[in-house]
Structures are given as structure tokens and as C-alpha cells.
Amino acid sequence: MKLLLVSIPNHHFFQWTNQLKESGFEVYWFDITDGAGFVEKINWVKQFNCWKLKWNYPFRYRIKKQFPKLYSFLEKITVNRVEVVFENVLNEIQPDIVHCFEMKLSGLPILSIMQQNKIPFVYSSWGSDMYAYQNLGVSTDNVKSFLNRVNYLITDCNRDFQIAQQLGFTNQFLGFFPGNGGIETESAFMQPISNRKTICVKGYDDGVGKALVVIKAIELIQFDSSIDFLIFSADEIVEEYLKKSAYFKQTKVEMIPRKSFMTNKLLLQKLGSCLLYIGNSTSDGMPNSLLEAMGMGAFPIQSNPGKVTEEIITHGVNGFLIENPNEVVAIASLIKTAIENQQLRAKAQEYNVSFVQENYNREMLRNKIINLYQSVNLS
């Protein structure tokens, strides 16, 4: 069976793809952005990249910066259209299935070509794809046209499945799967409650991510001197704030910039010693990092856009839900309560580790993902 996967270059996509390595499928990847070159993480996959430029003319980046109108004109004659290239790839491969990951960046650019054929079309929704498509600049008509062509839908939460149905999707739903194809845990690094001293914060602050609200909430609390902090995937605005913060100059902080690379295995190992994991945003799907933190025993405090997080967290039982991602004082109160209630954290750790193993274990999901494609091919 030939699978053509269409996606931006993304860590979660690479993890999903590697679930297929021993499947016996012929797997191809069309890099919709042509932004990564050859990717070693999936070096066993036939990759279509370096397709965009007809001619990489001299001083291209300087012209883009200094002469935008000239650059726009040159782009029209030096850049291949994605629809044309994708159609050529389809004709070359003759895939049995096309699977796109994310709608705006990966699905809509190829929709006009997919509407001209009857190849089984699988779509995995990601992040805010369904929940906040209008905020992403996608019209309702475009979403409905796209879903009308999609034969098979995968989501990472029930919320997005319900939204897709409301927007007219009536074809086959293949189930709920984490966007990365499953969670691995590093059990050897999973510390008991008494050894956990680190508060972990997801550092996205890009308009949707609201890490600075969490940082400011932390500044309202007087912690025990043994508490330290891990801020991972920190946007530049977060980095700059932390460098200037008198509060954080007096604490031990490990900051990992968003633009730097940290292996997933190393992040899991760090999460295994984390007391709390805090993720805060105004829009998201089911965050993979939240699932990883829960699987490694960190007590989760997470925002709940569109009621997605409450699908796996019961407030006050196995974590806390942030009601308003912009409310500094309320978030500070949740953090303080979680720190002070060791019994709650212990019960949550026991439940969450077991829950992730039973529902998101990567090894368990591998066969389900392989069977998913086989069922599509046979239908």
C-alpha cells in the first residue's frame, strides 16, 4: 500500500510517521512548505522537498527585505505553484491513500487537486484547526468544502469531532489519536512525589499561548527555596521577561528557547521530576506535552479552550483547569493550592500515569494506526 502524507515539517508529524516504519507500507511525504530539506528523523520515508524554487536567483533574501514589490513580482515567475507540484507527485506515486495533517497549511492548498480525484483522503485535525478556524483566517465555506472532500477524519479530542460534524462532515470518523501517534514514558526517570521540586511551564506566548500570565502568577507566590523552574519552548518575549525579572533572578530557572532543539526523550526525563506542569493558552487541541507531563507524573494545571482539556482532566481530582487564561491571580491561586496539597498530587499522579498508559501508550497505538490505514484501503 502506498501512503502519501502531506504536512508541514513538524516534530509531532515525524513521530506519527515513525509509527509506520515497520508497517510494510510505502510511505511518501510531501513537505507542503518545502521548508525543511531532507529530514533525517524520517530518513526511511521517500521525501518530496526542494520543489518550490525554479531558480534561486542571486540576492534573493536581500531583495525580499529591501524591495518587497520586486520580490513579489519575481516570486510569480521563479516559484512553482504548490497545486502543480502536488498534482505531479500524485501522478508519479499513484497513492492508495492521501493523508493530510492540519487543514489551513496542509489541506486547503491541495484541495483543488483532491477535488479532481477519488483517492481516499484522510485528514488529521491539529491544534486550533477546527476550534478557531476563523481566527486563523479560514472561512466557513472553505472549511465546509474541505470537509466535504475528506473521506476519513482523525481528531485528538471529541470537541473537534463535534465541530466537524456541525460543519457538515458526514463521512467516516477513524477515532481519537494524539497528534504524535502516542506517548512514550521514561519510567526510570519517574520520581515519587517527595522528590519532585520543579515547576514546569510551557513557554509559548505568541498571542494564543499565554505563558507570561503564568510567569506573572508565579511571581505572586512565595515558594520554598527548594523549588526550581523549567520553562520550555520559551518564546523570545518570555526569555526577555525572565532575564529582567527580579523575582526569577533569585531562583533557579532552566529556560529552553522555543527555537532550540530538545529531544523528546530528554523532555520526558525532565518531566519525571516535575512537581507541576502548567500550560496556558486561549486556543488549542489536546496538547501532546500535557499528555506527556501527565504520563510522567507531573500534576497538570491546564487551560480549557472549548472545554477540550476537561475531556481528560476532572478539576480538583487529577489536575486543575484554568478557567480564564488571562487571569493572573486565579492562576496563582491554583498553583499555590496544588503545591500545598501533596495528597491530591499523589492521587493524581497515580491516576494520570495509569490513564496515559491505558489510553495513549505509543506501543499500543502503533498497531491501531497501522490497522487504521489498512481499513481505509479495504473499504
Predicted TM-score (pTM) of the model is: 0.91
- According to the model, what pLDDT value does residue 332 have? 98
> At residue 68, does pLDDT exceed 90?
no
- Phi/psi at 246 (5° precision): -60, -35
Burial class (CB in 10 A: 0-12, 13-18, 19+), 339: middle
H or E element, residue 29: strand 26-31
All three cell numbers of 302 = 491546564
Give residue for cell 480549557: 304
- According to the model, what pLDDT value does residue 66 have? 60
How far is C-alpha 147 from the geometric centre of its chain's CA atoms?
Answer: 21
Window from 9-13, 74-78, 312-316 with minimum mean pLDDT:
74-78
> At residue 24, does pLDDT exceed 90?
yes
pLDDT digits (tens, 9 = 90+) for 130-178: 999 998 899 999 999 999 999 999 999 999 999 999 999 999 999 999 9
- According to the model, what pLDDT value does residue 277 have? 98
| 303, 305, 311, 313: CA torsion to nearest 10 | 10
Confidence of residue 265 (pLDDT cuts 50, 70, 90): confident
pLDDT digits (tens, 9 = 90+) for 337-378: 999 999 999 999 999 999 999 999 999 999 999 999 999 988
Q: Which of 237, 176, 173, 172 lies closest to 209 in space, CA to CA?
A: 237
List the CATH code of the domain at 187-360: 3.40.50.2000
Give residue for cell 525554479: 54
Confidence of residue 306 (pLDDT cuts 50, 70, 90): very high
Confidence of residue 77 (pLDDT cuts 50, 70, 90): low
State how far the Cα of 366 lies from the Cα of 355, in Å rounded to an integer: 17
- According to the model, what pLDDT value does residue 378 have? 81
DSSP secondary structure, 279-339, as one string: E-BSS-SS-HHHHHHHHTTPEEEEE-GGG-GGGT--BTTTBEEES-TT-HHHHHHHHHHHH
- Collect all residues with Cβ–Cβ distance below 8 Å to 167 and sequence separation of at least 6: 130, 140, 143, 144, 147
- According to the model, what pLDDT value does residue 69 have? 63
Window from 241-250, 295-304, 325-334 with minimum mean pLDDT:
241-250
Identify whether the C-beta of residue 289 lies closer than 8 Å to the C-beta of residue 276: no
State how far the Cα of 373 lies from the Cα of 214, in Å rounded to an integer: 41
Q: Give the residue-averaged pLDDT of 87-107.
A: 97
- According to the model, what pLDDT value does residue 260 have? 86
Above pLDDT 90, what percent of the chain? 82
For domain 2-181+362-378, which CATH number applies: 3.30.565.10, 2.40.160.40, 3.40.50.2000, 3.40.109.10? 3.40.50.2000
* Residues forming CATH 3.40.50.2000 domain(s) in the chain: 2-181+362-378, 187-360
